[in-house]
Each structure stands twice: as structure tokens, then as C-alpha cells.
Amino acid sequence: MIYTIIDVETTGRGNRITEISVFKYDGNCVIDEFTTLVNPQSDIPFHITALTGIDNEMVSNAPVFEDVAQHILDITEDSIFVAHNVNFDYNVIGGEFKRLGIDFRRKKLCTVRLSRKLLPGHKSYSLGKLCKALSIDLVGRHRARGDAEATVVLFELLLKQPNASEAFSDFLNKNSRESTLPPNLSKETFETLPNSPGIYYFKDKKGTIIYIGKAKDIKKRVLSHFYSKTKKSLDMVRETRDIDFELSGSELIALLMEDAAIKQNFPIYNKVAKRTIQSYSIFSYEDRNGIIHLAMNKGRLTPNPLVTFFNVRDVRLYMEKICSQFNLCPKYCHLQESVWECSHYNITNCKGICRNEESISDYNERVIEAIKAISEGKKDIILKEKGRAANEEAFIWIKNNVYLGYGFIDKQEQITHEEDLQHYLIKQKDNMDIQKILKHKMVEL
């Protein structure tokens, strides 16, 4: 069996190759080698130069990847692609070939995963620390040839371990998930993941949540991350040490759970839905003269809102609509501030409360009608969803157009009053993202 033991150095962002080293190994000795700098045709950041020593000047006259592509295809042909953290090197090289319109496919082995299997008990399986623990000389750390040459020595050691043949066969099995799992994630952890709807948490070595996702099939969705070739996925997978999950019963509740979990934990690899959306509410109050006002404020400063929105424009447009519909005064609807009399550019049907041309009682009567209309527009909805088990049902509770949360109930439980439902409610915060999620569901009803 022939192996090609490979290491690449890259630009970091964009993962363009700056150096590649390939050692062809027949199981006994190295029979061929190819090492070269590569012009990435993009800038090498300073922090990458500090790590590898490779700068823009060094690669300015080096061949571009297209110039060495055929040599790499030839030397790796009919061989098993071996690397430390193999998915990184394999995907980077595959990405370079993809830019040339070439589909690069090789069987692969990861020396990190093999080391964890055959050389258990080490505190770290990074190449540098593992080589130090095993007394393997590593000359030229973070240079392709130095790292690849050390990986050759490590690979020879792995081949000599008891049960090596069985371990290598397991990892090479085309249908085995082992070959696609992150190098620091155990097979046991992956196998605990269910083929059910819910959310999942990727965690780093400190147990910090670095990514949260939702899925109709958690195990299948998690596995798809390990096949992805995007830089975000490569970095995230490389950092993943553990995966946790929560069942939801349905995809809709999984979406709601995911939004809440992201906003609570702020994982570094979740870019969307991190933001906390500011809410704005309309409320009423009576001033010292007995005039009832309608006003707008931030949701957290409004204890008893009549209606809530998630951007300033929507709440203001709604207030203008109510003001115009019920002949209310823009001044007392706080559409105009610090004025003696209203003079709104669009709302001109004020009956004169601001000019003492209308009685307070007549004006308040229309304000009360407006408040009643706002209240009548509110909806109380309980959506039933599939539970996490056969004997369970789930629900989503919307009261007065406000999302309260979700919950799970045993099918044998008798729910006759709203108070009964309160015991099972997992309270959640409403926000614009949640409203968008639920809006799609309402359209289906």
C-alpha cells in the first residue's frame, strides 16, 4: 500500500497554499518527495509570516498552484492521502484543484485520529506536542517540509502499533464515519447524536460553545459540517472537542430554540441571529389635565404595552395610522414633540384638542376607541407541534401577538385552563427574528 504524507502552509484567510510538501511512502521507506513554495496570488498576512516565516517576497517568484498541480496529481495517484488533521490539508488542496476545474479525490488517513486510537493517553495531539512526547525530531515547525517529515516518522510509529492493521482498515472503510469526524472528536460522542429534530452545540477544549445549529436530523446535519470545505467550517471543525444537543420534537421549535440559544451564548461561529433586537411599544397614559396620550418607547421601558414592534419605522407608521383613523392629535400621540399645536405634514384631521377647540371627554372617547381597536387586533394562539417522544406533545404560545415561549406536555395530561399551560411553559423572549419564524407558520395555517 502506498501513502503520500502531506503538509501545506497557507495564507490563513482564504486558505491559499504558500508551501506544500509531499513524501511518498511505501510502508517501509520514503520512495519520493516533492516540496515547493507556491505563489498564492494573494497577500500573506503579517501574523501568518510571523508563524511560518513565509512572506510575500519569498513566494513572488515561486510557481503558482496551476504550475505544480500535475506533479501533485501524479505523486498522489493511487495512494492514500495522509496528514495531521487530514481534513484541513485535504480540503485546502481540493479547493485549489477546484479552482482549476479538477475534482481531486483520494482515500485519506488522519494521524491525529490514528494517534488517539493507537497511542492513547496524551494530553495533546497537536503535532508539536505529540512529537515532543514521543521524542520525534521536528525541525522547521510550521514549514511544510518540516511538519511533513515529522509526520512520516509518526506514521511509521503508528504502523508498528498493536492493532494497527485493524485501526487502519476501520479508518479507510469508505462507509466509516471515523474518516470524516473532526480529529479531536471521539466516535463515541458522535454516535450519541440522535437522528431527530433539535439543536446541537459544538464545544471547544474548554467546553465553550463555539457554534449552535438546528436540524430535522441532528446526526445527519452535524455530519454535513465535516464534509464542508469553507474556511469557517474547517476552522470550526478543527476546534471542536465535544458536541451536545437538545431535542425539540419539531423543526419549528428547533428554530425557536436555536434563536434563543444563540442570543444567550453568542458563539463565535454564529454570525446571524446574534444581535439582540430592540423592541418598541405603544402605551397609553393620562396627563395632569386628564388627556389620554398614546406614546411610543423602547419595549423594556414599557410595562403594559398595547402593541409591540421591532423597529422604529414600523411603530411610528402604525401610530400614524391609528392617529389618522381615529382623528387623534399628533401632539398627544407623540408624533410631534415640543409643540403648542399639532402641524403634522400628513395627519391633518385633528379636531383641535391641542387648540382647546374640543372637549377632553370627546377626545378621550376616541382614544379609548383606538385602544380598543388595538386590543381587538391582538391574537391569542397556541400552536400544537410534535413532541420529543411518542407520548408527548409540544406547544408554542402566542398571547396578544407576543411570543411567550414553548413547552412539552405528556399526552395523558388534561389541560382545561390557561393556568394549566403555565406549568409547562418554557418562557422565552420575543424578538424580530422570532416574529419572522412564526410569520411563515401563520401563513401556512
Segment 279-313, tens digit of pLDDT: 788 999 999 999 999 999 988 788 788 888 878 88
Beta bridge partners of 280: 298, 309
pLDDT of residue 441: 63
pLDDT of residue 127: 93
State the CATH class of domain 3-179. alpha beta
pLDDT of residue 445: 45
Q: And the C-alpha cell for 405?
A: 415561549
- Per-residue pLDDT of 92-137, as tens digits, reads 999 999 999 999 999 999 999 999 999 999 988 999 999 999 999 9
Is the whole-model pTM more than 0.85?
no
Q: And the C-alpha cell for 154?
A: 509518526
Domain 188-265 has CATH 3.40.1440.10: yes
CA–CA distance, 374 with 281 (Å, rounded to integer): 12
Where exactly are the structural domains of the chain? 3-179, 188-265, 280-376, 381-444
pLDDT averaged per 10 residues, the chain (length 445): 95 90 95 96 93 94 96 95 92 92 92 92 91 92 94 96 90 67 83 94 94 94 82 86 95 94 92 68 94 91 83 90 96 94 93 95 96 81 91 90 91 83 90 78 52
pLDDT of residue 416: 78
pLDDT of residue 249: 94
Q: DSSP labels for 240-295?
A: --EEEEEE-SSHHHHHHHHHHHHHHH--TT--TT-SPPPPEEEEEEE-TTSPEEEE
Q: DSSP labels for 38-102?
A: -B-SSPPPHHHHHHH---HHHHTTSPBHHHHHHHHHHHHTTSEEEETTHHHHHHHHHHHHHHTT-
Identical fold at 3-179 and 188-265? no
